Amino acid sequence: MDTNAALANWLEKGGRHIGQIAIAKKDDGWELRHADDAGRDDLQLYTKTADARSLANLDDASAYRALKTAPNLRHGWRLILPDVASVRNALDAFYPAMLGVHLARERGEIVPVNLRDTLARQTGMYRITQKLTDAQSQALIAKSCRLDGGCLKTILWRISPELPVNSLPAEKFTTPGGGEWPLLCHEACNILVAEARKVVKGEVKEG
Ligand code: SF4
């Protein structure tokens, strides 16, 4: 099943949330809006798939959102799209790769990469991240990946085969159910690796 068909199937079965976005069926197609904006009737209307990219780029304070899965999606808009293909393209802009990663995981094609393996692959200026200690790793993950203010993804990886991440609550490692499309982290992102470099170099306070 391709991504559009899988998304159509999910919507048909009542899927209505991904990250901070609520999806609703309307007479003229599908409506996306910030889930916090449920019930508001003063939202600015957008109608093009391309609008999703600009909506995803800036937070409420017009600051650039480097991490699209950070819980700082801007408020105050609604996006009306004519069909599932348009919704798919918009969601790919709001949450890049997240439709495909979930489907690949359902097919058994996602192998989580532990943090030590991710850091072992770093070269050049990021090779130094291999010196990150286990304690520094736990503290960094707790700070950067936390659901409240860090990142909405569910972590699938461990620090090493012997060492799980134990600095965040269990909900950080549990995929949501009940009509919510999961945002999955199967390998530490570039932002976390960049922060790891700063920790090793002593450029940021740990924890
Ligand atoms: S490592 Fe994963 S969970 Fe942590 S901030 Fe990056 S994408 Fe989010």
Cβ of 151 closer than 6 Å to ligand 1, yes or no, is yes
Q: List, for residues 40-84, the tens digit of each pLDDT value.
A: 999 999 999 999 999 999 999 999 999 999 999 999 999 999 999
Q: 14 by DSSP, 3-state: which?
A: coil
Structural domains of the chain in order of their starting residue, each with its CATH number: 3-106 (3.30.1360.190), 115-200 (3.30.70)
State whether the beta carbon of 113 lies less than 6 angstroms from ligand 1. Answer: no
| pLDDT at residue 204 is higher than 90 | no
**Tens digits of per-residue pLDDT, 121-180?**
999 999 999 999 999 999 999 999 999 999 999 999 999 999 999 999 999 999 988 889
Residue 144 CA: nearest ligand 1 atom is: 5
- For the stretch 170-191, pLDDT in tens is 999 999 888 899 999 999 999 9
- Please tell me if the CB atom of residue 69 comes closer than 6 angstroms to any atom of ligand 1: yes
Span from the CA of 173 to the centroid of ligand 1 (angstroms): 12
Contact 1, 82 (CB under 8 A): no
Contact 8, 88 (CB under 8 A): no
Residue type for 141, please?
A: I
**Residues 179, 15: Cα–Cα separation, whole Å:** 4
Q: Choose which residue among 151, 186, 197 to substitute to test ligand 1 binding: the one with the highest number of ligand atoms within 8 A of its C-beta.
A: 151
How far apart are the C-alpha atoms of 135 and 47, rounded to whole Å?
47
Q: For residue 81, what is the enclosing H or E element? A: strand 77-81
- Which ligand 1 atom sits nearest the alpha carbon of residue 145? 4
Counting every residue, how long is the chain? 207
**Average pLDDT in the chain:** 96
Q: Is 98 near ligand 1, meaning CB less than 6 Å away? A: no
Query: Which atom of ligand 1 has the smallest separation from the CA of 185?
Result: 2
Say yes or no to pLDDT of 207 above 70. no
Ligand 1: centre distance to CA 146 (Å): 9
